[in-house]
Chain A
C-alpha cells in the first residue's frame, strides 16, 4: 500500500542540512572540484590571507610554502608567514568555522572576499583524511606562540578543539598552518607553480620560498621594499546595492530615521540627496528603517536609480602601479621589451575600479605559441575559466595586428608575447563563486581595452623600430654575400680583375642602401 503523503510525513524527512553536506554538494563553487584543484585552492587561500594580513599590518611579507607528498594521494600543506599573527581567542573561529571572517562585511580592496577560504580548506582536509588543521600563531615577541589542532563540528559549524598548547617558536610574529588533504600534484599550467609565479609578478614586495612535492626549492625574491598603499574601506554606493542587501541593511541599521540611514550607511549621500530619494519613493524621510524593510523597500530601491548621485570616491582602490608591474614582469619573465599602464579610476554599478595592463615581448618567450594571458583580480591570479572572462574577451576584440602582432580573427594574438591585466576594485564582479573570471560589464570591458591599446601602441613602436633595423641589417648582409659572387661572374665574363670589381661594389654598398632602395639610383 502506498503511504499517504501528508505534512506530517514530509516533516519526518525535513531536517537541518549540515554544513559539511552543504560543503560537499557545493565544493565546486569553492574551488575544490577535484584533487588537483583542491591543492591549489588550499595554498591559494592561505597565501591570500597571509598577504592581506601583512599589508594591513604594514609588514613586508615573507611566506614559506611546503607541499609534501605523503603518498596515497595525501599531501601535507604548510604555509608560514611573518604577518601580525592572530590573537588566541580568535584562532578557533577563524580556522574552525565556516563563513567567519573580517572581509565579508566591508567594501575594501582585499584579496579574499567571502571569508570562506581557509576554513573550507581545513574542512576539506578533515573530510578527506580525518586530520585536523594545525595552527601556530604569535602576535609579538613579548607574547607566547599558541598552538591549536582543530576540527570543525560539521553539524553546528563550530570549532572543535582537539589540542591546544603554548609552544616555543623562533618567529617574533606570524602564523603557520598545516593541513593534510587528499590531493594531486601537477606541474605547469593551472598548477601551484604557475599560481606562485604569477603571484610573485603582481606582488613584487613579496618574498616567497616554495618547496614543491618533488622537493625542489623555488625562491621568488623581493623586487621592491615598497608596500602597496593601504586600501581605504568605503561604504557602499547606492547604485551598487541589491534589493536583498538593502532590506538587510534597513533591518540591521542603528539609524533611527530613513534619511539618516541613507546618509550614514552609504557614501556620496548628502541630506539633500537622501531627502530626494525618499520623496521619489513616496516615503517619509523620518520613517523607521526597520518598518521600510518590511513594506516599502522595493520603492526605495527603485527610486535610488532615479536620483543623480555623484560617483563613489576612488581612493579606496589601490592599483599596483606601472613601475611595480614592470618590476614584477622583469623579475619573472625574460623578455626584450616591457610596457605597463595604470588607467585612471572608473566606476561600474557604483563600484570604483582600476584597470592595469602590462606586456612583455620577445626574449625567451616562445615565438610560435598563443600569447600567454595573466589575469589578476586584486592581485590574485585567475587561472581557470579563461574563455569566460571579460579580460579574454577584451584581448580578443583588440586589434593586435596594428601593433605588429599576428592574430587570427576572434582569437587571442600569437607571438612572443605575455599580456597581463589586473583589475583592482572594492568589489570585483566575478561570474561565479569560484572567483575565476570577471563578469562582462561594459564599463570594465571598455577600460581593459583602453589599457591594452595603451601598452599595444608602445609595443607597436618598439616592434616597428626593431623590424626596420633588422631589415636593414639583413639587406646589407644579403648584398655582402652576393658581391664576391657577382665579381667572380663578371670577371669570368670580361677577364677584368675580380678583386677590383669587388672593391668597387663594396664602395657602393658603403654609401648606403636605403638611398639605393628608394628609386634604384644611388644618391650622394
Chain B
C-alpha cells in the first residue's frame, strides 16, 4: 500500500476512534463540519481565491435533526476506508449503493438518494481535508481534450493529438497523470461541447497550437484540476470561452477563484491567472451579434445582480463594465450566434483575432 493511501486510511480510522472515545465517556458524539455557504466564504485578495471561513457546525448523533446525517457520514467514511484498504476506486453512484440498506424492522433506508451520500462525502472532505479523489471516489468522466500533448496514464502512453474525433476523455482523477511532452502554447476551455466539436473539426488546436478542453455543462473537478496543472506545471495561459450571460460569467468565476460550495478545495483548483476570452460586450457590435440577442429573463437579471455584488468582482472595473453593459442591453448572446457569419467564422476569424490582439478580460 502506498504511503499517501495509508495516511488517508489512518486518518479516517482516527476519526472513528475519536468518536468511540467520546461514546465511552458517555458524551454525545459529534462531527465538526465547516459551514459551506456564502456567509462563511470570503475572497482572499492575496491568493485571489475564495477561502472557507472559520465557522463550523457541530453535528450530533443524539439529535433528531442530525442523527441520520451523522450516521450517513460515518457509514461513508467506513466505505472509503475499505476502498483505500483494497486499493480500489468507486464512483459516487457506487458509494450510494454501498451505503443503501434498510434498517432492520423498519421501512427506513439509511440513504434514499445519491445526493445524501454525495453530501456525506463533501462533509468528509471538509472534516478530513482529503479530496474525494484521495478518498478513492471518482465522479463520472465528463469532458474531452485535444492538442499537442503526450501523457502517461496508468502506464499507457497517450497522444492527445492522435485520438480522432472524440479526443481524450478526461477522468475525474488526474492526479496520477504524467505529462511527457507539452508542445501547445495555451489552452482554451469552453463549457459547450458543440463549440469544442466545431473547433476540433476546424483543427484550431493545430493552427493556433493550443489545447482545447470542454466539459459537458458544469466544470468538473477533474477538468479544473487538469487546467490548473497545465497552468502551474507548464505555465500555459488559460482562456475561457462562454456565452455572454451571467451563467457563462460564473463558469469563468469558478475556474478563476473557486466555487462557493467547494471553497475548501480552492487551493487545489482555482487558477487565478485565467483570462476571459469571450463573448464580451464589445464583441456584440464588433461582430454584428445585435440581431441575435436573447432577452434576459427574471432569473438572469437576479443572477446578474448577485454576480455584480460578489466581493471578488466588486472592485473589478472591467467586469463591472460587462455587467453594466449586459444590464443596459437587457440581453444575452450565445457563442453559436457567431455561426450567423459562417459556420467556421469562430475558428477562422473570431478566435485568431482575439488571441492575436489579446482582447481578454482578467
Q: Using a CB–CB distance below 8 Å, which chain A residues touch chain B?
A: 475, 478-479, 481-482, 484-486, 489-490, 492-496, 501, 504-505, 507-509, 511, 513, 516-517, 520-522
Contacts and interface: CB of A to CB of B under 8 A. Distances in A.
Interface footprint category on B: 35 or more
Interface string B59-93: 01111100110110011011001100000000000
Contacts of A494: 13, 16-17, 20
B195 to A, nearest CB: 45
25 contacts: A479-B62, A481-B106, A481-B108, A482-B67, A484-B104, A485-B71, A485-B75, A485-B103, A489-B74, A489-B78, A490-B16, A490-B74, A490-B78, A492-B81, A492-B82, A493-B78, A493-B81, A496-B20, A508-B26, A509-B62, A516-B28, A517-B63, A521-B27, A522-B27, A522-B62
A501 B20 contact: yes
A486 B28 contact: no
Nearest 8 pairs between A and B by C-beta? A493-B16, A494-B16, A492-B78, A493-B78, A516-B62, A489-B75, A489-B74, A504-B23
Binding site of B, secondary structure by majority: helix, strand, loop or mixed?
helix
A507 B29 CA distance: 13
Contacts of B30: 520
B26 A481 contact: no
Contact of A486 (B63, B74, B105): B74
B78 A481 contact: no
Nearest to A471: B64
A179 B39 CA distance: 82
A504 B23 CA distance: 6
B103 A507 contact: no
Contacts of A507: 26
Nearest to A524: B26
Interface of B: 12-13, 15-17, 19-20, 23-24, 26-28, 30, 58, 60-64, 67-68, 70-71, 74-75, 77-78, 81-82, 103-106, 108, 110
B61 A486 contact: yes
Given A492-B82, A521-B27, 11 more contacts: A482-B61, A486-B70, A489-B77, A492-B81, A494-B16, A496-B16, A496-B17, A496-B20, A504-B26, A507-B26, A522-B62
B127 to A, nearest CB: 13
Contact of A513 (B24, B62, B82): B62
Given A492-B82, A493-B78, A494-B13, A520 B67 contact: no
A513 B77 CA distance: 26
B28 A508 contact: yes
Nearest to B25: A504
A516 B16 contact: no
Nearest to B24: A504
A510 to B, nearest CB: 10
